[in-house]
């Protein structure tokens, strides 16, 4: 496992600080032993132990506290060595999650630092108890903080899993809903023409085969992200023409009015726009009735990608029920990128969907 550069830099800075301040501290500690080459080596070792705190926290704690205890036991001058010892304690508590492991190690380390604080001048209970008390307080506070941090990380991980499941569910819904609606229309055409115009019925069957093949490919792409994230690219604006051609081949009359500069549209916005148009046209195929005509219009206006999909099919009558999974999925997609969406029946007949997706601040 690679040692992070930040950890190495922090270890170097702590070592340099302890060496520099300890050398100057003898001015106010004339009774202490001068910092020799051995003392400098112990200070450097205590600070350098931080460099491996992520890859080997137990080794880091042992080196930091062991070197500090040896330095204090030899009565070298300088208080900064306590920083190295307490840094080792923080590494142990924050990086080792098992309480049964870090508690006894922290107790042994704290006892060692407290004991070497006293002799050989003579036992100083007040000083030793003060060091032990501070050690205990730091360990408890660090343990609470580490526990809270782990809980937050677990919640964030669980939230990411839920969001990924919802994203995959939306992808599969969009793919399957659109494909099955297209297959249903093609099958209806084939059944109607199978006796009178078998060649056109055969074309409808070929269309069904192609649609089902494309649907399987897109479903595999959506599920492949679970195993190899980022491997499959989501469809975007460049795929809109193919989408509309597929819808037209299913028997729905679609007028496309697309005036976009693909370079000005972020990839995530382009993918969202594709899914919105796909689901809107799928709804037309499923609900608008025979002979319906649809129009898809996309424009970039004042920093927004404006999407309008309308049809002149059968309008809903009576009370309108709650939105289905398709409309909810579209609303979630649009909201996730900071956009807005509204949809509803138009007076007389037909249905209108309007979405606005931001072109900035989505990277």
DSSP run (H or E) holding 101: helix 99-117
Beta-carbon neighbour count of residue 265 at 10 Å?
A: 21
- Which range, of 41-55, 83-97, 173-187, averages the lowest pLDDT? 173-187
Instruction: Kindly write down the DSSP assignment for every residue of 255-273, as one continuous string.
Output: EEEEE--GGGS-HHHHHHH
Q: Span 311-340, mean pLDDT?
A: 69
- The number of distinct structural domains making up the chain is 2
Q: How far apart are CA 143 and CA 103, in angstroms?
A: 10
Identify whether 10 is part of a domain: yes
The pLDDT-based confidence of 350 (bands split at 50, 70, 90) is confident
pLDDT level of residue 317 (50, 70, 90 thresholds): very low
> Is 320 a residue whose pLDDT tops 70?
no
Q: What is the residue range of 353's domain? A: 252-363
Domain boundary among 97, 123, 149: 123
CA angle 9, 12, 18 (to 5 degrees): 140
Kindly tell me if the per-residue pLDDT of 18 is higher than 60. Answer: yes
Write the pLDDT tens digit of every residue in 190-209: 666 666 677 666 676 666 66
In the predicted model, what is the mean pLDDT of residues 154-170?
A: 72
Choosing from 123, 144, 165, the residue where a domain stops is 123
192 versus 300: the higher-pLDDT residue is 300
Whether 297 shows a pLDDT value over 50: the answer reads yes
68 compared with 346, residue with greater pLDDT:
68
pLDDT band at 298 (very low <50, low <70, confident <90, very high): very high
Q: Is position 215 within any domain?
A: no
Instruction: CATH number of the domain at 271, please.
Output: 3.30.565.10
Instruction: State the pLDDT at residue 259.
Output: 84
Q: Would you say residue 198 lies in a domain?
A: no
pTM above 0.75, yes or no: no
Backbone φ and ψ of 308, nearest 5°:
-130, 125
Which pLDDT belongs to residue 316? 45
* 181 found inside a domain: no
Instruction: Please check whether residue 308 is in contact with residue 354, taking contact to mean a CB–CB distance below 8 angstroms.
Output: yes
Residue 165 within a domain: no
308 domain-assigned: yes
Weakest mean pLDDT among 27-41, 59-73, 150-164, 244-258:
150-164
- What does the pLDDT average to over 53-68? 91
Least confident of 259-273, 305-319, 331-345: 305-319
91, 123, 155 - which closes a domain: 123
Local structure of residue 193 (DSSP, 8 states): H
Residue 270 has pLDDT above 70, yes or no: yes
Answer with the residue of higher pLDDT: 318 or 329. 329
Average the pLDDT over 217-246 and give the result: 68
Residue 137 has what pLDDT? 92
Q: Does residue 203 fall inside a structural domain? A: no
Taking the C-alpha atoms of residue 183 and residue 208, their distance in angstroms, rounded to an integer, is: 5
Lowest mean pLDDT, pick from 21-25, 39-43, 338-342, 354-358? 21-25
- Please give the residue that has the higher pLDDT: either 210 or 235: 235
Retrieve residue 227's tokens: 């195993």
**Average predicted confidence (pLDDT) for the chain:** 79
Torsion angle of C-alpha atoms 128, 132, 138, 142, degrees rounded to 10:
150
Name the least confident of 119-128, 146-155, 188-197. Answer: 188-197
Considering only residues 265 and 169, tell me which one the structure prediction assigns the higher pLDDT. 265
Query: In the predicted model, is pLDDT for residue 361 greater than 60?
Result: no
- Look at residue 164 and tell me if it is in a domain: no
Summarize the confidence of residues 346-353 as an average pLDDT.
82
């Amino acid at each position: 496992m690679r040692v992070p550069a930040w950890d190495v830099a922090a270890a170097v800075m702590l070592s340099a600080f302890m060496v520099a301040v300890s050398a100057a501290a003898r001015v106010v500690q004339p009774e202490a032993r001068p910092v020799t080459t051995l003392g400098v080596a112990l200070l450097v070792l205590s600070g350098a132990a931080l460099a491996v705190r992520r890859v080997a926290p137990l080794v880091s704690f042992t080196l930091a506290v062991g070197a500090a205890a040896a330095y204090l036991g030899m009565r070298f001058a300088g208080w900064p060595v306590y920083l190295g010892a307490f840094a080792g304690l923080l590494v142990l508590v924050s990086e080792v999650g098992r309480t049964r492991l870090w508690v006894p190690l922290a107790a042994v380390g704290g006892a060692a630092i407290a004991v070497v604080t006293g002799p050989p001048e003579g036992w100083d209970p007040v000083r030793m108890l003060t060091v032990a008390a501070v050690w205990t307080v730091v360990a408890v506070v660090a343990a609470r903080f580490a526990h809270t941090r782990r809980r937050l990380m677990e919640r964030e991980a669980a939230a990411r899993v839920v969001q990924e499941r919802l994203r995959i569910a939306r992808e599969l819904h969009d793919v399957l809903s659109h494909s099955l609606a297209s297959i249903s229309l093609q099958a209806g055409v084939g059944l109607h023409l199978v006796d009178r115009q078998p060649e056109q019925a055969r074309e409808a069957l070929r269309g069904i085969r192609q649609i089902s093949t494309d649907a399987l490919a897109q479903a595999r792409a959506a599920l492949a992200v679970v195993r190899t994230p980022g491997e499959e690219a989501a469809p975007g604006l460049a795929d809109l023409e193919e989408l509309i051609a597929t819808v037209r081949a299913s028997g729905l009359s679609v007028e496309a009015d697309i005036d976009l500069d693909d370079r000005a549209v972020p990839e995530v916005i382009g993918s969202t726009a594709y899914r919105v148009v796909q689901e809107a046209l799928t709804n037309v195929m499923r609900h608008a009735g025979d002979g319906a005509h649809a129009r898809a219009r996309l424009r970039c206006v004042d920093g927004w990608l404006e999407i309008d999909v309308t049809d002149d099919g059968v309008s809903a009558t009576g009370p309108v029920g709650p939105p289905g999974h398709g409309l909810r999925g579209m609303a979630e997609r649009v909201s996730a990128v900071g956009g807005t969406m509204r949809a509803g029946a138009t007076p007389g007949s037909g249905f209108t969907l309007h979405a606005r997706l931001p072109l900035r601040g989505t990277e």
